Amino acid sequence: MGHPLDNIFWHALTGPQASIAVGGPQARRFAPGFSPIAGFADPARPDFDALAPHCRPGDRLYVDAWSGEAPGGWRIALDASMDKMVWDRAGGPDGELPDVRELGPVHAALALALAQLTRPGPFGPRTLEMGAYLGVFAGERLVAMAGERAFAAGLREVSGICTDPAFQGRGLARALTAMVIRRILARGETPFLHVMAGNQAAHAFYLRLGFRDHRRSPLRIVERV
C-alpha cells in the first residue's frame, strides 16, 4: 500500500499518536478508553497473535483494509466496507455557528452519550483527547459535535460528526464540520474522513462539501473471545 491513507491507522499508531497506543512492531491499537481501532504493519496478513495480549475477552476493535478469515480466539462481529475520502479543494468550506464550545475531557460523558445515540463510528470515553472537538449545546445538553481523530503524514481525520435526532435539519453538523476542516487546513494539513459504503446520503454530502473518493476499503469489527 503506497499511499499513507491506505493504512492510515497504522501510520498514526506507530507515528504521531504512538503515545496513546499499545502493541508492538506488527500490531497496535489505541489504548483502552480511546477509539477502539487496531492497525497492522501488513493489513493483508494481520498478526492477531501480536494484538491479543493487548485485548480482553469481549473487546471489539475496528480493523481497516483486511478481509480474511477470523483467526482463532477472534470472531467477526461486522463485515462491511467504507469509503476513504480526502479533501479536494483549494480553500475551506463556508459555515459558522455562534456559541460553539471547545470540547475536552470534562465533556467526555456527554460526548459518549451523543455518540451512543447517533453511532458516528468508533468512539470511546477518551476520544475527545485525540484531537480538537467542537460542540453545540442546548442548555447543558450536547446536541451536535465534530472533531479530529487519527493523524499522520500530513493527513488528519475529520470524525465524530453527529447530531441529536431532535436537532437535525438545522445545519449544525455541516457548520461544525466546516469549522473543523478550516482548522486542519490552517495547520497545513489535509483533511480526510471515512464513511460507511452504504450511507449514500452522507457520501453525497461529503462530495458536495469538497471531499473526493480515495478508495473503498474493507472494514471489520472483530471481537476477542
The answer to pTM > 0.75 is yes
**CA-based nearest residue to 217, from 197, 199, 191:** 197
Residues of the chain with CATH 3.40.630.30: 85-213
pLDDT digits (tens, 9 = 90+) for 128-173: 999 999 999 999 999 999 999 999 999 999 999 999 999 999 999 9
Instruction: Give the torsion sign (CA, 113, 114, 116, 117).
Output: positive
Report the CATH superfamily, name and number, of domain 85-213.
Gcn5-related N-acetyltransferase (GNAT) (3.40.630.30)
